[in-house]
Every structure is written in C-alpha cells, then in structure tokens.
Chain A
Amino acid sequence: MESAVLRIENFSASFGELTVLKDINLSLSRNTLTAIMGPSGCGKTTLIRCVNRMHELTPNAKVSGKILLDNQDIYNTDPIIVRRQIGMVFQRPNPFPTMSIYDNVIAGYNLNGIKLNKEEMDRTVEESLRKAALWDEVKDALHRKGNFLSGGQQQRLCIARALAMHPEILLLDEPTSALDPKSTAHIEELVSHLKTTVTIIQVTHNIAQAARISDFTAFLYLGELVEFGSTEKMFTGPKDKRTEEYLTGKFG
C-alpha cells in the first residue's frame, strides 16, 4: 500500500470553549480525491483549515493531536512553510484585484520574494493555467487584470494560482458553491483530472458532487468523523446509520 501523504491522528480543534472537531483520525493516499461532507456546522471547513494552519489565525483557536504531511508534523514546522506546500481554493473566488492574470498565477512566488527568471515564470504560468483549464481563454490577455473574468474563470485562476506552487495537497473549500451549473461542471471535470498529479481534499455539501468525482469520502457530523472509506463502498453500503440518513437526505 502506498504510504499516506497526509495522516491526521487524534486531532481535535476548538474555538475557545466550543469544540469543533473531536478526535479525528484520517489517512489519505497520494494523488487521490477525498471528499469531506456533512451538514452545516459539522466542522468540515475547520478540518481543512487546520491542515494548512489557517485555523489558528482566528483568535482563541486551539488544536491538539497531530497532522503529518509526508511524515513531518506540521505543527512543529513554521506555518509559512506548511502553507507553501499546501494550496487552498476558497468558496468565493478571490484573485488579487491589483494584479494582472499573469501576476496572480505566480503571486505565490512574487509575494514570497522568490525570484524566478522570465523563462521560468512564463513556463510556470502557462503550465498552471493549462492544468486549471484556463489557458486557452486567457492566453492573449495575460497582462490584463482579472476583473473581466466570469466567476467560474476567476475560480479557475485561483486554482492555477494554488497549483503554481506545486503543492503536495490541494484543499478545495466548496469551490463551486458560488458558481453557476456550467462553471461547476467545468471545475468538477478539471478537478477530477488534477487528482492524478496532486492529492486533493474537497469540502462539499453537495452529495451528488462527492459521488461524482471523489475516490474517498469522509463523513463528518457534529465534529466527529463518522465514516471514511472508498466513495463507491460508502454510497452503496454505508456502515453507520447516520451516514445512511445523511445520504438519503433525512437531515443536513
């Protein structure tokens, strides 16, 4: 069996007195797509924000347990280094408004003061935009600012921006919930191609979406990991009653 790229061990997270994640244990294989689903407030967004150490930006945030990226404890590493290895795409597209499309894609390098020569920059930009299925649409407008792009295109730009850093893991936080069905379909297709080159964790509240694209699914309820397994097995024969109820729409 492949060694796990991400291991979450006995992990809990809280905001002050309120515990949001209870004793999560999870192990993800390389180059797979794991969907995290569950009703609102179950902790799924908090979980991925802990993986790239964004959770601790909120005051009163506390964590316990371990998260190991390639066998390295991310809570013993400088958060900045952790975040450079893990890419995140947010619910609402948030390209940098003062930068051109080109600069947005390599923003991770520019902002961190990592200097690349022009050839490397051009190559990275094209490669990332191709992977994000956006290259053909913007290749003639690379130096324009991104505000003329549609919501779906902006989100793909954000995906390209994250991919440009060659992350180990790509975190997607309900990336299509603010988009129209056509853009959603585009992004779903692109994500399912991407998983062959990068490990993806996608938070979604859309059960059908999880079924369509993910290899593995984790079901969270009230901060607990209720069930985790291959998507096919879970959807055809869930082991836990709560999972079954969620999948059949009885709550959430």
Chain B
Amino acid sequence: MSDGHAWRGNWKARLYERVREQGFTSLTAFAEARPATPLHVLAEELGKDDLTGVQVLSELLAEAEQRKQVTRFMRDVLVRLLSESLPDGWPAVMDDEARFAVAEALGSWSAYTPETHKERARQVRAALRTTPPPPGWRPSGPDDELLRTLLPDEEV
C-alpha cells in the first residue's frame, strides 16, 4: 500500500510509463485486460508503492472523456466495485449483510461517477432495485449484457 509516495513527483508520467512498460498504449487497454479487478489492485500492478487506485480511476475517466466513452467507463468501474463487495455475485437472499454489501458497491459507484453522469447512475440503481438481477449475477466486464441494457453506450 502506498504511504505517501504515490503523490511524489509527476505521477501521471509515472503511471503512463508503467502502462507502456506493460506493453499497452493506453491505461484503458491495460485495464480492459484486467476486467472485474478492484482499482487498488490495478494500481498495485502498475506500481506497488507509488500509484493508487484513485489515480488510475481519474486517468481512466480522462481517457474515457477523450474517447467519449464515459458510460462504458461507468460500467467498467461498477463491475470492479461489484466484484470487490460481492465476490460471490448478486446475493440470493437480501439479508442485512447482503443489503449493505450491495449498498457499499452502488454507493461507492455513485461517488466515483463524474457529476455529468450522476443522474444516469441514479437511474441505473433505481432499475436494479425495481428489477433485481438474478442471484449469482457477476458481470465479468463492461460488456455484460444486463449492464449494457441498463446503461447503453452514448450516441456519439
């Protein structure tokens, strides 16, 4: 875990240098090769002590904005958060523990969503509440069918 080293120097340059070292041309490509992996694990793979998950998140968003793929970015982040909070997939029984685990993933997702898309996130969460996914649902990446229905790519 980073202990302050992550913010020293030019961390963006450091981040992209590591991405290139791993043989990827963009952070998005690096992340897509590791779908459903928590953000802090992505960061550790790039630099164990000198990069953090939130830096990865901010640069993924920056790239997504350039590519006009912010909704895809949102699906990608949601999948990562779900895999972290619900490692066994969507709960079959909504007891308190399960309810809080779902809330943890979706609440964090809203907080990690850019201002422009927060309303979209709210709509997706409402839809998930009205029509819950099947028990054990564990999206494997941003192309998950259910997620694409709930949050389709934006018209360019």
Bound pair (A, B): no
A-side interface residues toward B, CB under 8 Å?
A: none
B-side interface residues toward A, CB under 8 Å?
A: none
